[in-house]
Structure formats: structure tokens, C-alpha cells
Amino acid sequence: MAGVSLHKVRKVYGDSTAVEETSLEIVEGELLALLGPSGCGKTTTLRMIAGFVVPTSGSVRIGDRDVTAVPVHKRNVGMVFQGYALFPHLTVAQNIAFGLKLHGWDKGRLQQRVNEMLSLARLETYAERYPKALSGGQQQRVAIARAIAIQPEVLLLDEPLSALDAQLRSQMRAQIRELQRQAGITSVFVTHDQEEAMAIADRIGVMNLGRLEQLGSAQDLYQRPASRFVATFIGKCNLIEGKSNGPGEFVTTDGHRLQVPEGSASHDATVVSFRPENAWLSAQPDGTANALPVTLKASVYLGPSVEHEVITGGGSRLTISAPARADTSHWLPGQALFAQWRVDDGLCLA
């Protein structure tokens, strides 16, 4: 087990930059998720750690070794691919044993390790089955067990749940987290699914257009996003256009003055953001919070909550979420109301 360090790593293909200069420290034993939309550079970053892609500049270290120029087979990393990549002509036990044979394990030690992996992945009763006789979740557990079997210093997972249906993905992410914790292996998990990343990772690195936008815990990213992109990519977020008007104040495009936390209104701020669940609707301002005139467009009942869609005078569409049991149900489409939120629940972002 070892940590991973990327120092000013950059990857360029011709005239296209896949990954901008990025530095990143992955702590020994943690599970880090790289999260972002397609084409943001997360898989390229993972493949540079694995050795499938050589950085244009910068360095990659695993533990105390500089592995920037070290080939894949000498890096001691385990890789789990999006499509599992199991050998169809080999049984579950034989798939798990494959890497051990390549590493020259003797027969007795190899069989013991295979048995350990079958137990860890809860696959004991499937040892003699072939991949075609397994469900998607079972195949994924085989792929993970095979990757862990060789005792890699780092485990790399490239969107390993994307081929599964929503219910099975939810089950599998918990199992992956359990396997990773039991094995104690430093792991990097690539995904475009924010819920998946928040459920499975110790920390999340959000990537966009080849840049690492923000790195932190799920709570950090949700409550204190560093940019407009992070705010809108992690959960639902309302954005109101305008500009900073000095310390603690923001002016919307239609001239309304809003209070913001002291120090958050930098000179380049262009939006105020707040989460739907941190706001409420009222017929009149109550004087305790920001109050912005809005018009109710529609209300949608979602079981636990009701989501109100409103529009400001400046044309910003906002979502206000209220618990269904506490919702004021007499609001009607077209009604003039006020969207309110506490000052500390808002952020100014560039």
C-alpha cells in the first residue's frame, strides 16, 4: 500500500490539451474519486497513474518511487476496467489466479490467495463458474478480486459501475467500498456520477475541461463549492446573475441588492448561489433573510418534498424545495411571491 503523488502533470495530444497542469496528493489507504463530465480529463489522469498514458510533462510517484517512465507491468497497480475484461474461457477462480501466475506465485501460495479473494468478494460458491453464468454485479466483484489479488500498491477503477442498472450500481458501490476498506489499498475511482462519488469516496476531485476545479470531501464540495461549475455539478444549485458591490453586498442584473457572507463577494463574482433546500417562499419578506421578488411558474410533488419553480424579474429560474408535510400548498402558478434564504446560506461565485 502506498500513496500517489502527481506533480504538475500535463497531457497534450497534438493541439488538444487533455489534462492541464495538475498536482495532486492521494493519501495512503484513501479512496479518491475523480468526478466530471465526459472529456474532462479524469480517465486520462487515471491512465497516467496506471502507466497506459505517458505525461507530456510533470511526474507521477507511487510511494517513494518515481514511476513516470515505468511501464504498466512494473508499477504494481491493479486495474478494474469499465467492461470488466474477464477471460470468458476461464472460471472465476482461474480469472482471479491469472495475475498471480504472471507474477510467479507458487501453486500453494497462489491457491491460498485465490481462496482469500473468493471469501473477501463473497464468491466462494461461484469459484467454478464461467463469466457468462454470472450477473453483472458478480462479474464486477470478480474483476475487483482479480485486481486486488496481486496485492497492488494502488487500485484504479475506471467507471466500473457504468454498465449496471441503477439498483445494482447502488448495491455495488457499497460492496466496492467494503472491499477497498478491508484490503486497505489506496484507490482511485473515476466516475461521471456525482451521487456515486459522494457515496463511495473519502475525497472527491472535480474535473472540468482538463482542470482540477476543486478537491475535498463531499460535504466541502456541496456546502462550499469553489466555482460555478462545481456548484451546479454537485447537486442542484440556484444561480442569480449580477455583480459584487463591495464587501457583503451583491446586486442582481435587475437591480436588487442582496446580502452575502462577509468576504465572499470578490470583485470578479458574477453569481450568487444557494441550494434549493435552504430557501423558502413567502407572501411578504419577514426581515430575517434575503428576499427576492419572484413569480411562481409551477409546483411538483415528489413525495418527500415539493419543488417550486420560480422566475425572478431578471429572468433567473430558481428551484425552491420544501418538505411536503410542511409545504404551504395554497401557492398558485402566476402568483407574485418572495424567495428567501439566510445570508450565510448564499455564496458569491465567479
Residues written for the chain: 350
pLDDT digits (tens, 9 = 90+) for 101-150: 988 999 999 999 999 999 888 899 999 999 999 988 889 889 888 998 98
Check residue 105 and report its DSSP letter.
-
Q: Is 1 exposed, middle or buried (0-12, 13-18, 19+ CB in 10 A)?
A: middle
184-201 in b/e burial notation, b at 16+ Cβ within 10 A? ebbbbbbbbbbebbbbbb
What's phi and psi for 33, nearest 5 deg?
-100, 135
Q: What span, in angstroms and rounded, lies between the C-alpha atoms of 35 and 20? A: 16
Mean of pLDDT over the chain: 90
Contacts of 268 (CB under 8 A, 6+ apart): 244, 350
Comparing CA positions, the residue from 108, 120, 189 lying closest to residue 154 is: 189
Contacts of 206 (CB under 8 A, 6+ apart): 35, 36, 212, 213, 214, 215, 221, 229, 230, 233, 234
Highest mean pLDDT among 150-164, 214-228, 316-330: 214-228
Comparing CA positions, the residue from 307, 284, 304 lying closest to residue 294 is: 284
pLDDT digits (tens, 9 = 90+) for 198-222: 999 999 999 999 999 999 999 999 9
* Model confidence band, residue 162 (pLDDT cutoffs 50, 70, 90): confident
Q: What span, in angstroms and rounded, lies between the C-alpha atoms of 172 and 178? A: 10
318-335 in b/e burial notation, b at 16+ Cβ within 10 A? bbbbbeeeebeeebeeee
Entry pTM: 0.87
Q: What span, in angstroms and rounded, lies between the C-alpha atoms of 137 and 51? A: 27
Residue 341 three-state SS: strand
